[in-house]
Amino acid sequence: MELPVLNANADNTAKGGCSSHSCGSTDDQLSHLPEHIRVKVHNHPCYSEQAHHYFARMHVAVAPACNIQCHYCNRKYDCSNESRPGVVSEVLTPEQAVKKVMAVAAHIPQMTVLGIAGPGDPLANPERTFATFRELSEKAPDIKLCVSTNGLALPESVEELSKHNIDHVTITINCVDPDIGARIYPWIFWKNKRIMGREAAAILIEQQQKGLEMLTARGILVKVNSVMIPGVNDQHLVEVSKVVKAKGAFLHNVMPLIAEPEHGTFYGLMGQPSPSHEELQKLQDACAGDMNMMRHCRQCRADAVGLLGEDRGQEFTLDKIESMDIDYAAAMVKRAEVHAQIARELEEKEKARAAVAEVKAKLVGIDGARPAADTQPVLMAVATKGGGVINEHFGHASEFLIYEASSNGVRFIGHRKTTPYCEGGDTCGDGESALDRTIRELAGCEAVLCSKVGYEPWGPLEAAGIQPNGEHAMEPIEEAVAAVYEEMRAAGKLTPKLSQSTRKVA
């Protein structure tokens, strides 16, 4: 029996109307968006799990100033080995930023999106941010522009934002209740004064909500980011999700708090815990009932360059771009060719998937009278380089995609980063601790699917309850996950859903 592949909207699959690949991808956050929004975001790597394997994005750090303080941010911190929002190595002038963007766009023609995200708040640096947007709209009209903000200065910026080629704005909204806000934001700078505590949070929340309404009223797409802070706003984010959806936000991205003591943030030093993978997933699922959820955010640095999860910023430092001579007119032609080629490739994939799905639907029609028993969902990790297939060695993966298989089908849950267990043949000096870390990151998963997995990690993985599986190399991910789930069912490894399960969870 074949399993359908679920989109976030389970109703579709229950009726069998949207079986596996007819919806085309694992992008549960995209597949049930209205068509006019899908058209706008289909080639935006941050909004589509599939697009991010093909299209690249970059951030330019032109906005150093911030008008608020968040307890998860430390403005002193700057390290090129760090990958998290708000962190950046080199602040650029608008002129330098434009030059860098055009250099990257010419060298990485897959780059479709330029974002300004910091390291401070872009709208607290309106002159620098808008000078960059203005010039790019003019010189590189084939690049989509987007901006993310804490929202404090948003209402006064909406007019200017709507003038440029900006159709996406991200607002970080961690709460709609000032009492909760007072535990996240120690102060804001507002009307020439520093305002502390609850009063500060109340003003910030009011500005965020007002800005959200103004943007959606103008047809500008708004994504909402929220940082999940256990014990502070975790329960509350379900309410946030409802409120922002009602006001027209098209996507909600709940991200885990990053709070290591060595980052020197308030939360880091106070020992504020980050959410576990399971807690994050539970909250995302709770929010998903009301909102399109984003599952594959990689929480990039404010100067990230390249595909999500990679950073090629070092190839485009100031001294390097100084010596680059860019013919943008020629680059635009090349870029258009590359984009068209990717579009064709995606379309062909889509067709192939639809054809497979059709055949399957017929098979299910024959076999469908005998529904599978309702069994517990299982999490599986997948090693992939992209393209929707299992094509990465276990030891080379720097991240794993997590899928959930259940009697209802297969759905994409998120990703987990790790250090590659073994970067190559015999240089595995640090291999053992990297393996331990990977096993810890994969907690809760019962299988790991990869193109190849070595003898060495096999035993420790099995001992940790994670079955290594290299039998589905080069197969489409969802089908392989569904097949492994069926194998587990056949082997009697799945517990019925209603029984008291002793299955381990993340």
What single-letter DSSP state applies at residue 322? H
The residue (of 64 and 248) whose beta carbon lies closer to another protein is 64
- Measured distance CA(217)–CA(282) in Å, rounded: 32
The residue (of 196 and 243) whose beta carbon lies closer to another protein is 196
Rounded to 10 degrees, what is the CA torsion of 189, 194, 197, 201? -20
**Sheet of 445-449: strands edge to edge?**
409-417, 399-406, 378-382, 445-449, 467-469
Q: Cβ distance 225 to 117 under 8 Å? A: no
The least CB distance from residue 343 to another protein, in Å, is 40
Site map (CB under 8 A) of another protein, residues 180-219, x = contact: ------xx-x--xxx-------------------------
The least CB distance from residue 106 to another protein, in Å, is 29
Chain-centre distance of CA 302, in angstroms?
Answer: 15
The least CB distance from residue 194 to another protein, in Å, is 4
Pick from 127, 319, 325, 426: which binds another protein (CB under 8 A)? 127
360: which 2 tokens?
């399957």
448: which 2 tokens?
């790991």
140: which 2 tokens?
């590189």
- Measured distance CA(196)–CA(69) in Å, rounded: 10
Site map (CB under 8 A) of another protein, residues 48-67, x = contact: ----------------xxxx
Among residues 218, 223, 216, 215, the alpha carbon closest in space to that of 241 is found at 223
Q: What are phi and psi of 378, to 5 degrees?
A: -125, 135
Pick from 106, 124, 136, 379: which binds another protein (CB under 8 A)? 124
The least CB distance from residue 193 to another protein, in Å, is 6
Site map (CB under 8 A) of another protein, residues 261-300, x = contact: xx-x-x-xxx------------------------------
What single-letter DSSP state applies at residue 63? B
The least CB distance from residue 201 to another protein, in Å, is 14
CB atoms within 10 A of CB 385: 13
Site map (CB under 8 A) of another protein, residues 404-433, x = contact: -------------------------xx---
The least CB distance from residue 64 to another protein, in Å, is 5
Pick from 12, 19, 96, 125: which binds another protein (CB under 8 A)? 125
The residue (of 86 and 388) whose beta carbon lies closer to another protein is 86
- Binding of another protein by 131 (CB under 8 A): no
- Measured distance CA(468)–CA(460) in Å, rounded: 10
Pick from 15, 34, 36, 76: which binds another protein (CB under 8 A)? 76
Chain-centre distance of CA 254, in angstroms?
Answer: 9
Pick from 53, 71, 236, 416: which binds another protein (CB under 8 A)? 71
- 142-171 residues in contact with another protein (CB under 8 A) are none
CA-based torsion, 357, 363, 365, 369: positive or negative = negative
Residues that bind another protein (CB under 8 A): 64-67, 69, 71, 75-76, 91, 119-120, 124-125, 127, 186-187, 189, 192-194, 261-262, 264, 266, 268-270, 429-430
